Amino acid sequence: MAAAVVGGLRSRSNSSRPPPLPDFDTFNKSSKVEVREDEEQERKFQEIIDLLLAAGYFRARIKGLSPFDKVVGGMTWCIEDVYKPQRLFRYHAPEKLKDEEVRVQTTLLEYGKKLGSARITESKEGEQSSEAEKNAQKAEEENRIQNLMKSMSITNEQEGKLTASQVGSIVGLQSGEIQQVASEFAEKQAELANEEMGERGLSGIQYHKRTVASLTKQITEKEGKVAEIEAINLNLKNAYQESQTRLRNLQNAHKDMMKEMKHMHSLLETLRSLVATNETLKKQEQEFRNHCKEELARLKAQIEEIKASSDEGSSEDMEYREMVEKQYNADKEKLQKIRMLLARKNREIATLQRKFDEVPSRAELSQYQKRFVELYNQVAAKHKETLQFYTLYNTLEDTRMYIMKEVDLLNSIQENFTEAMASQASKVEFLAQLETIVERILQNKSKVEKKRLEEKKQRDMLNDQLLDLIEKQRLYFKTVKDFKEECRKNEILVAKLKEKNKGR
């Protein structure tokens, strides 16, 4: 937008009147700024980025950063990485230094820098001081620096001392090297003793050597035993840990097996009851079949007897025979119907059993309800978070839009100000346009403020509704709790009433 305003000003430079300011409502339209691409500049920038990455500044890979931030940040990082001052000395009583100049010199000396006192005086007498006074001041300054360095060196020596705990830690970490050094020291000590005791005779030197050799051998044997004991201890610890792991695995397996055994026992009891029922039904069916066979055999025998007794049967015999056959057919149809009815009842029993299995228990229903509530809470939290992100994005976008409008307006005013101040008429028109823009800004501000008040009112209304719903929810939970308590009391009373009725 600033480039467009500059182009308009140049096209009208021959006119006496200044160009009119752009309308405030048109500032939200983004304008493209022409950027020149320099190949040399791009190549140098890429070389700088490669050097920074090679040095370890990996923040230059972030695509969201501008080239200026990458280069300046890399230079700052390089300067901080290279310049790491080291404190060589330490003054152990800084609170005694009251003069600020002495404090500055002390601090510089701690880091190895010497700075002479350069005092500037405004009087002419100080400028014309003699060479002797300058030498005296220089000598005094050197003495003061030497005194400060002495105090610092004392502190540095105190800081250089090792404590007993530090020596113990070093001994514990490097026992092998210390043992080797100890043996070498024993040899050197033996040689020194040999030189010092040359006058005392050869017996003392041999006794000392035998003593040193014996002690060295004992130390070696003890160290070997300690190493063996430590190895055995380590093996025992590993074996103990493995045993503990196996024990825990066996305990877990035992628990799983016990649970499986309980489940299998329950299944076994169910199967036993089903097998007993099946055996009973089979037995009844077999008895019924035997009875039917016996009845069939008896009827056939009667028929054969009747046929044998009378070759020429009378009409009564024929009627009796027909009656027997009808009775046989009726019984046979009845048997078939009973079988069909039994099969239908078995199918109904199986259907009811499946329906009973499909109905969830109270524990399963409570678990389903709990899972649904958790899922609802997760969805609600995610929805609320998404709404917050949308609101934040819209707020930031509005803020960015208004800031861009303000920047464009200020750029336009700055570009037109010089030309508008050239004449009185241009100045008046410039001020009139500024007043118009201010009025529009105030109007937009009043609209936004009105919208904010409406949103606040809506928020208060929703808060009131939320409080009412929370109160209703509390009453609902209280009512449900009371209802459950009353149901429990009712079940207790019904159980007592049934016991009294049984007693009667």
Digit-coded pLDDT (tens) for 278-293: 888 888 888 988 888 8
Between CA 121 and CA 104 the distance in angstroms is 20
The two three-digit tokens of residue 163, written as one number: 């404590």
Which helix (H) or strand (E) element contains residue 305?
helix 202-309
Asked if residue 441 lies in contact with residue 24, where contact means CB atoms within 8 angstroms, the answer is yes
pLDDT of residue 215: 82
- Amino acid found at 192: L
Q: List, for the chain, all residue ranges whose pLDDT scores fall below the cut of 70.
A: 1-37, 83-101, 111-130, 144-205, 207, 309-317, 504
Chain centroid to Cα 366, Å, comes to 30
| Other beta carbons less than 10 A from residue 155's beta carbon | 16
Beta-carbon contacts of residue 430 (< 8 Å; ≥ 6 apart): 18, 21, 416, 417, 420, 421
Asked if residue 111 lies in contact with residue 86, where contact means CB atoms within 8 angstroms, the answer is yes
Asked if residue 27 lies in contact with residue 1, where contact means CB atoms within 8 angstroms, the answer is yes
Does residue 162 sit in helix, strand or coil? coil
Dmax (CA) for the chain in angstroms is 181
pLDDT of residue 8: 33
Asked if residue 2 lies in contact with residue 22, where contact means CB atoms within 8 angstroms, the answer is no
Please write the tens of the pLDDT for every residue from 363-420: 888 888 899 999 999 999 999 999 999 999 999 998 999 899 889 988 988 888 888 8
pLDDT of residue 149: 63
pLDDT of residue 172: 43
The two three-digit tokens of residue 297, written as one number: 């055999």
Please write the tens of the pLDDT for every residue from 23-40: 434 434 334 444 456 788
pLDDT of residue 368: 87
